[in-house]
Structure 1
């Protein structure tokens, strides 16, 4: 089921979406909203299990690591994502070292 809604977005976002075409713009917004929903669910699970949420510094560090790896090429990007996932699973997310 789908619902039709009307939203206001900044000019640069509207221009980018207009270039996508109607169906692709809808898909792009849906993908972005679902990513935000997953992040909220992750944070709720972290709190429910007594685990701290990633700090703003940790999130920024993870983004830098992934951006640097992406700039280096696909293989490095995949390695960086795998390393971040391993660290998060081990309870050692990016952030200040203890």
Structure 2
């Protein structure tokens, strides 16, 4: 879920910034983050600005706590990003 926190912070930076170069870099980091590659978002966008990095860590911790509180179960070991969502679907429900 930290992947989604990084994506959310990068999306907020895209919407908020006026700097064209930062917006282009953040857009590339956003789309790579959707597929689970969050390194461009971390090292290129959030970590150099410290506050967005801390906010993404807090967001990831909160989402992890929510998942733990609801006793969510992964039925397969997925990759990160967009492709992780089907891993939460119970195979018995789909049959």
- TM-score by shorter chain over 0.5: no
Normalising by the residue count of structure 1, what TM-score does the alignment of the two structures yield? 0.35
More helix by share: 2
Of structures 1 and 2, the one with the larger relative CO (CA 8 A, separation 6+) is 2
